[in-house]
Amino acid sequence: GAPAPSEAAEEEELVTLVPPETEAATPKETQVRLGIKTMNLFLNLAAELVIGHNQFKNQLDRLKTYLPMLNANLKIFRDTEDYLNNLLKEEKRIQESLLPLVEDQPGIRESWKNQIENLQRVLKNVKMLQDEVNTLLHTFKENSKTYDENLQKITKLSNELLNEIMQARMVHINLLFQRFHRPIRDLARQLKKQIRLSIQGENTELDRALIDELYEPLLHIIRNAIDHGLESPEERKAAGKPPEGLLTIKATSDRNQVTIEISDDGRGIDLEQVKASAIEKGLLTEEDAARMTEQELFEYLFYPGFSTARETTLVSGRGVGLDAVKAQIEKAKGDIRIYTEKGKGTTFSIRVPASLSVIQSMLVEVNGHVYSIPLMQVEETLNISGQDLLTEDGKYFISYREQRLPVIRLNQLLKIRQAGTRPLSSEGDYPLIIVQDEGNRVALLVDKIIHREEILIKSLGPGLRRLRYISGGSIMANGQVVLVVDVQQIISEVWKGREPGEPAPALNDRAKADATPSQAPARPRRRRKVVRGRKPAALIVDDSLSIRKYLSSLLMQRGFVTDTARNGYEALELLNKQEFDIMVTDLEMPKLSGYELIETLRYDQRFQSFPIIVLTGRAGENFRQLTTELGADAYIVKPFKEKELFEQMEKLIDYQPQ
């Protein structure tokens, strides 16, 4: 039956809510509910508007570069006019002086007359061209001024629109925190514990998409805190503590990061018990445990099935399920830390990006390509001398804060190098970025550190999602695609034994890849693709319009159906929409190079035996070797002979030339 009124009142008093700091009331506005998908659609459309505007501005800026050329041509026309005028005067003077000598030769006089008329005609045409160029120049300058004024207005409006839509995704974190009141009250009743609940920072703003993603992992931590963190009233009195345990849920923000702390003033986590459990399960030796830091030992709490609790309950078990908690937080691009003091309490600190749409990033350059490294994972930037590089078994290390950190060369890892791998010189200086994840660090070697910038994250297309070590993408103001480096995956492979750059076990599910080294999918033995009853389809990938047109015309004459792409990104989009029998691709292209395109295709089961011919101006053997390693079937150097191209094509596909 229902509890007596006195019992119910006692249960209600088990949880005391600490009143939040009062803030000035804001007038209510009419609310309109929009789903996350709709908000994402609006955000992408606004981003496309900004990008389209910026691309138009860049095109206009490029047109302006022709102004000096037009001015120079105008001067050439004026000089030519002066020269022709002088030539005409000189011709007339010579003819007049020689006229007495040819009075009886009408043919010569007629010829001279024609010369004068021809010169006058040329002079007239030059004057007309000069006037047209002058008019064009004047019109261009006038219109350019109008375009600039309109572009400034569009810039302001499009940026405001984008910012407003991004802000509309943000909600107060209290929307998440208020969902914990009832579970906390129910747990307090069930466990007969007295809890003083303090919620702080409820007006901190967070991306609406994160509210649902964070609910389950945070609730699990709260359950652990109440069940195994906070003592019973009797235990607390015996320990000299007030019978009411303090549970604090606090949110703070710093730039584009939100930190959520769940703290209790309970018994804390027994570090020695963590060591003992890890050793007992064979995860650690006593020698290793003695050398580990507190944070390194706490990482074992996130190991699947790890627990220090002697008894598990229906409510929770300290450490039970924390692997799932961590996985969910990492899915939200966040990280988690534990701070504890025996007998005084524990704090779980969760750090996530405030917005899933925008991140603070460090932009770097690697072989002419720009990449983004999340600032959240950047610990420090360094510029070191080659003499400070340590080498062992062909690998590089640096000494950093009494640690030896592996140096990872991003150009090799991302396979965007433009030449063969060369050892680092002891004479040079090298920019390094120290990145960390879960307390583990590596040094990323880049060509140049550009600057910090807030970037808008866009979802990757189906082809780009298969790229290793890439977690997202963005498009800069100039229309350039910038890929976001997956620091977490790089560090995970370094510290779990896999050499960075080894083939991933499965491109479609990198996060679930086993930590042991694995081989890339084996390419099926090459067989000529047979095409009958239809025209063979070829995809041509090159950033040069003239090359695309020439190859397309050439192949169509041989009975092919062709389609073209300006870069690897466009090629992946086409390959996911329609079927092709063969691809001819360049290597050096913007947005996504031929190297990255080939590697991406070879890790996709559908394209492991897809015929690929490289057609490039790179004649070096190192380029040929690299593309062969990535999976290209043939390598042809520009300028090329038609016969060579068709011989290679006939080796790869069996078709009937038309």
Average pLDDT over residues 59-66: 78
Work out the mean pLDDT of the chain and round it to a whole number.
80
CA atoms within 13 A on the CB side of 78: 8
Domains, the chain, ranges and CATH? 36-169 (1.10.287), 192-306+320-353 (3.30.565.10), 358-415+428-495 (2.30.30.40), 529-656 (3.40.50.2300)
Ramachandran area for residue 192 (φ above 0: left; ψ -120 to 50: alpha; else beta): left
**Rounded to whole angstroms, how far apart are CA atoms 184 and 197?**
9
Distance between CA 8 and CA 518 in Å, rounded?
59
Give residue 521's pLDDT: 42
Burial of 100-123, coded b for 16+ CB within 10 Å and e otherwise, reads eeeeeeeeeeeebeeeeeebeeeb
Q: What is the pLDDT of residue 592?
A: 79
Beta-strand ranges (E) seen in 500-573 are 529-530, 537-541, 561-565
pLDDT band of residue 388 (cuts 50, 70, 90) is confident
Quote the CA–CA distance of 591 and 566 in Å, as a whole number.
9
Which residue do the tokens 């350019």 mark? 144
Which of 175-179, 464-468, 515-519 comes out lowest in average pLDDT?
515-519
What mean pLDDT do residues 114-124 have? 87
pLDDT score for 319: 41
Total-model pTM: 0.56
223: confidence class by pLDDT, cuts 50, 70, 90: very high
DSSP states of 469-495: TEEEEEE-TTS-EEEEE-HHHHHHHHH
pLDDT band at 522 (very low <50, low <70, confident <90, very high): very low
CA 448 to chain centre: 17
Q: Please determine, for residue 595, whether its predicted confidence score (pLDDT) is greater than 70.
A: yes
pLDDT at 510: 30
Q: What pLDDT score was predicted for residue 512?
A: 31
pLDDT(323) > 60: yes
> At 344, which amino acid appears?
K
Report the Cα 349 to chain-centroid distance in Å: 26
